[in-house]
Amino acid sequence: MRTAALALVAGFGAAACTDLSLSRRQVDTSVSVARYETYRFATTPLGEDARIAPATRDIDDAVRAALTRVLAAKGYRAAGGDQEAGFAVDYSFREALGVNEKRLDSPSDYQRSWRDTGAPDGTGSMDHTVADAAFFSELSITVLIVPRDTGRLAWEGTARRSLPEDRPGGPALRSVVSGMLSRLLAELPERASR
């Protein structure tokens, strides 16, 4: 029973990521990103700027933390103080609300999605997923790498994923963003040993 439950949970986890779409390209093929040791973010963090919505600051924090972790795992380190960085990392993100055209539309569709084990009061016994939500949020994150010595874009990638309309925040958001960026930067070369 426990093995079946773990397999079911793993299956739901895999299904939840099925709509992740990635696009990556080496823009300047004459540049090997792996030859650079250090990086610096091209922009300052949004931090505590009161003019910016807290939800936007949360995404910015999550993106910066995930990029820092993934780049460190590949052997790149953040330039400290006044040290010149080998390349700049720039990023942008966008969250857009959309209508799910594949949602459940008819009462019979909803009826078929009820579980026998649900609460008898008629609430909370339906499986709610992104697939059957009428609205969803799509998070799109684009990462750019620009070497200091060329000043030209060397690499770019974009990750897109839909989230429930009431998207997660805090640690759950960090986990989603980290997963997106880990997959997006998976093909970025590791730092070459010198």
In the prediction, which pLDDT does 30 show?
86
Q: In sequence order, what E strands does the chain have? A: 21-26, 38-41, 77-78, 87-99, 135-147, 155-164
- Asked if residues 106 and 59 have their Cβ atoms less than 8 Å apart, the reply is no
Percent of the chain with pLDDT over 70: 68
Kindly give, in sequence order, each residue whose CB lies less than 8 Å from that of residue 134, ignoring residues fewer than 6 positions away.
99, 100, 103, 165
In the prediction, which pLDDT does 101 show?
63
What backbone phi and psi angles, to 5 degrees, belong to 130? -60, -35
CATH 3.30.160.670 fits 18-103+138-187, yes or no: yes
Query: Nearest 5°: CA angle at 24, between 22 and 25?
Result: 165
In the prediction, which pLDDT does 103 show?
54
For the chain, which ranges sit under pLDDT 70?
A: 1-18, 99-136, 165-167, 193-194
Cα→Cα distances 164→4, 64, 71, 168, Å: 26, 22, 28, 8
Could you tell me which of 163, 164, 158, 162 has the C-alpha nearest to residue 183?
Answer: 158
Take residue 136 and report the two structure tokens written for it. Answer: 């969803």
Rg of the chain over all Cα atoms, to the nearest angstrom = 21
Could you tell me which of 122, 91, 98, 104 has the C-alpha nearest to residue 19?
Answer: 98
Take residue 11 and report the two structure tokens written for it. Answer: 């299956």
In the prediction, which pLDDT does 1 show?
42
Q: In sequence order, what E strands does 34-120 have? A: 38-41, 77-78, 87-99
